[in-house]
Structure 1
Amino acid sequence: MSAISRRAAGLAAVLLCAGVLAGCAAPASESAAGPTPEPESSAASTTLDANRREPIDPEYLTQLSVAAERAANYWQTVLDENAIRYITTRVGMSGVVDPADDEEAADLLDNTDAGSGTDYRTKIDDGEAFLVKVSFYVVYSPEADYGGPQYPDGTNSIYVFTPVDDARPCEAISGWYSTDSTAAIPELSDEARELNLNEWQHTMLVHQCRALAAAGITDFAAPADWTEEQTAYYLAARSRDYGPNLLGFTAEQANRLLTIDFTAEDDWSSNARFFAIDWPGTTATADDLPETPAYTWAYANNNGTITATGSVDGTPAVQYTFSIYNGSDLKWDARTVCTGGKSL
């Protein structure tokens, strides 16, 4: 930071995040502000630092803005790559933080470096990188909620180590920070509204139909009607919505998955409803699934019963039915419960 004093740099970062100098990146979905023009007079620049008479280096201000934008785009990409876990992902404001002026950031860097043998603080102090705080909003998918996520949804923030050299990658170096105690409620899509479902229920409906179709299951009233192969295929297909390692194919995990999809019971965390405890499990994976038609789905709510009709080239081929469970105090466990299927 040879171009300006440490004090000026810190003050610039604070003013950037306040929007005074446009140095905070806009949300990743919006265009970022352009380079900040140089102040027209030295008198105007002295308001940034009463102890410094010359203007703050505009090139440095541009670096701050670019770093904030890079960090925001990086974190949006990370969220997008893990989209299976979320109904909603939205990156908000981001801004460069000076650890010399921010106790939380300083503690993070010092503890991380001491515990992991890294040198993030040194590189930031030497001007090789910036520390950017990125705020974001997420709502977990219901499947992720059943898996017990590590962090709360809603509004969070994270620190991103952002090298000045844009050929070097950004790196998230903290966990999520949250000061929002309000439970996140997913925005209601038009499709969910038309079916009189909330977004958790609509998400489950779409995922359940996709898994049933991928497993090649049509005519049944309950999972007990399936063949052993169909059961293995459904577990493999449906587990893709839970992400890696969230659900597997032990008896406990398979009972959990089928209890969620085929009952309105709240003992999904532990039961032996569908499989005995000594059930040997299955090793089927998504790669083993049969080739099935690419259905086009039409959904309808008939007096509280949801029908999902899958068509091929405009011809109805299969129909699944669902009841509606409005959830417990958890709210996110509101879901559709499959009650059967038939060929058309």
Structure 2
Amino acid sequence: MAKKGILLVNLGTPDSPSVKDVRKYLREFLMDERVIDIPYLSRWFLVNVVIATFRSPKSAKEYQKLWDERGSPLKYYGEDLTKAVQKQLGKDYQVELAMRYQNPSIKLGLNKLKKAGVNTIKVIPLFPQYASASNGSVIQKVMEIVSSWQVIPKIDFEGPFFDHPKLLEAIAQNAQKLMDQTVYDHFLFSYHGLPERQILKAEISTCQLGDCCNTCKSKNRYCYRAQCFETTRLMAEKLNLPEDKVSTAFQSRLGKDPWIKPYTDEVLTQLAASGNKKVLAFSPAFVADCLETTFEVGKTYQEDFISAGGEQWDLVESLNVHPSWVDCVCDMAKT
């Protein structure tokens, strides 16, 4: 009996923290037309002449701090997750890990499943909230690769899954460990940002980038900003957090164009100025440790918060290979 193929796909990571490999990674990542959605020549100049030249050395230093004896956490936690899911699903499934950018590539993962003779493929982009620059890019890449196959098996794509009960349970359990030790004044949910134009280009006619995102229903389910606010609402409900002690914000903006608001770096300053001394931060857009969690939210924002007058800034651990997160992935694989 043919196996069912499962392809887990995360964003990607450099092969090493060297400037050369970081530059290679940034070029592939940022030249994706779904990531920087501007005309090709402008994108090529921005990425290859400006960003790859001047940002790579700085990013390489950050990756060197993130790297440990196992390498990049994003990659090895992905490998650990793949093994755990494979073990739980059993011999009727073949589970492979891929990265949208760099290694292991989506093409390699798909070819492994093809060689194994699977009769179906379920692609699970490991991004809880849907965005064109993440899920959309993975889907497009998979379709480009399989379009050249003589025989294309049944292929399904999973997501978004921000409201999956077992995902929420895993985040809640990680948060509760810290909440049992500290009484926090505020809870800040920080999500990766997107340029406003990408939300508006998504043909979600109801989105005004305002209060319309406070609820997430069928008509705006694919609005990234609305999904993020809904994730916060579901987590606050699960953890019994008072509404007036919860905020949603967006990090990692790049360039001068407006990105979705509010901005995390501005919100944390306002929180400190308002007398909030102890803040618990969440990063629910990421499922594994990476620069955006460990360093941006965990260290940079911590330093900024304390400099602004705060006293304690803690970050809820990423899902990595939390048992409930493994269960969540297995549920998606089997549906």
Tell me the TM-score normalised to structure 1 length: 0.23
Tell me the TM-score normalised to structure 2 length: 0.24
- Higher percent of residues as strand: 1
- Higher percent of residues as helix: 2
